[in-house]
Amino acid sequence: MLVELLHLLITPVPFAHRRRGHLRESVLLMSRGRRCRAAWAPHLAAARAAILASCEGLGRRRVAIVLGSGLLEDVPLAALAARFEAVHLVDAVHLWPARLQARAHANVRLITADLSAVPDRRDPLSTLCGGEAVDFVVSANLLSQLPILPLDRPGFVPPDLGSRIVQAHLDGLARLRARVCLLTDVEQIEEDRSGQVIDRLDLLHGVRLGRPDRCWTWELAPFGEAARHRRLVHRVEAFLDWRGP
Ligand SMILES: C[S@@+](CC[C@H](N)C(=O)[O-])C[C@H]1O[C@@H](n2cnc3c(N)ncnc32)[C@H](O)[C@@H]1O
């Protein structure tokens, strides 16, 4: 609790991102990740392996960009920094553990940006990732997170806002000339202790991705984390060369 409060106080973050709730969400995610370290480990290892497989064989290795870099738990930062001339880490919030990791590499740069291309705004991906020198882009378990805060805002929310935000990110990625690695959780499954499925939640709001190159499960909340006799498991998909569904 005290650690969370400290991060809320000392993290440099634009006021708009703080107001929209990005900082709070990041701190909560960090705390859950620490509590669920063992349960999350296989997912994080699978994600890091997928990123490295995706950039294998690239002819040029100038700039690599990681969208939704967060705490760099699923990002093989040292390997990317060794393979590419420059690595840009993009997120709405960079908490101090990620800032310190980034500082260990002279060619790693942090960029703070809101990546949700809501329909009335310019596509942030073309601005951030459309440069001629960008050879590799990773969307690192970001896609399902993009609609969460916009859908939570008070007032009228258009019923298709979630799917439009998801689709806009996918379209933005598909337009890039760089190799794109898309990692995303697609479905949440709630199970009881006998393994019976209690509930399912489509994390991509009806948007379908097609056939992934790799898939695995992520035990997001083991028994006792969100509820004593229920656990939450996410289905994760990896596309090593995303060009659209
Ligand atoms: C599940 S985490 C990804 C995990 C992260 N790759 C890691 O290794 O720790 C999702 C990330 O997306 C970021 N995010 C969510 N909505 C965003 C937005 N609109 N713009 C930029 N980043 C956003 C969050 O701040 C968070 O760091």
Share of the chain above pLDDT 70, in %: 98
Which of 165, 169, 187, 188 has the alpha carbon at shortest distance from 245?
169
pLDDT bucket at 15, cuts 50 / 70 / 90? confident
Atom 27 of ligand 1, residue of closest alpha carbon: 70
pLDDT of 2 above 90:
no
Ligand 1 center to 214 CA (angstroms): 21
pLDDT of residue 1: 77
User: Please, are residues 48 and 76 in contact by the beta-carbon 8 Å criterion?
Assistant: yes
Atom 12 of ligand 1, residue of closest alpha carbon: 68
**8 against 144, higher pLDDT:** 144
What is the average per-residue pLDDT within 146-168? 91
The closest-lying atom of ligand 1 relative to the alpha carbon of residue 116 is 19
Ligand 1 center to 193 CA (angstroms): 30
pLDDT bucket at 51, cuts 50 / 70 / 90? very high
**Which segments of 104-240 does DSSP mark as H helices, in order?**
124-129, 148-152, 161-174
Share of the chain above pLDDT 90, in %: 82
Ligand 1 center to 91 CA (angstroms): 6
pLDDT bucket at 120, cuts 50 / 70 / 90? low
Which residues make Cβ contacts (< 8 Å) with residue 220, sequence separation at least 6? 32, 36, 39, 40, 185, 188, 232, 233, 234
Which of 119, 120, 116, 100 has the alpha carbon at shortest distance from 108?
100
Around ligand 1, the residues with Cβ closer than 6 Å are: 22, 26, 29, 68-75, 91-93, 114-116, 140-142, 145-146
Ligand 1 center to 158 CA (angstroms): 23
**114 against 7, higher pLDDT:** 114
Which of 108, 150, 134 has the alpha carbon at shortest distance from 21?
150
The structure tokens 């006792």 sit at: 224
Task: Tell me the residue type at 60.
Answer: R
Across the chain, what does the average pLDDT equal? 94
What is the average per-residue pLDDT within 76-92? 98
pLDDT of 145 above 80:
yes
Ligand 1 center to 194 CA (angstroms): 32
* 26's tokens: 């990041």
What is the average per-residue pLDDT within 178-190? 98
pLDDT of 245 above 80:
no
- The CATH label, of 3.40.220, 3.40.50, 3.30.450, 3.30.310, for the domain at 2-181 is 3.40.50
Q: Which of 87, 94, 142, 185 to probe ligand 1 with, by most ligand atoms within 8 A of CB?
A: 142
pLDDT of residue 118: 65
User: Please, are residues 86 and 109 in contact by the beta-carbon 8 Å criterion?
Assistant: yes
Over residues 191-209, the pLDDT tens digits come to: 999 999 999 999 999 999 9
- Would you kindly state where each structural domain of the chain is located, as residue ranges? 2-181
Ligand 1 center to 139 CA (angstroms): 9
3-state secondary structure of 149: helix
For 13, 22, 38, 103, the CA distances from 245, given in Å and listed in that order, are 34, 29, 33, 36
pLDDT of residue 6: 87
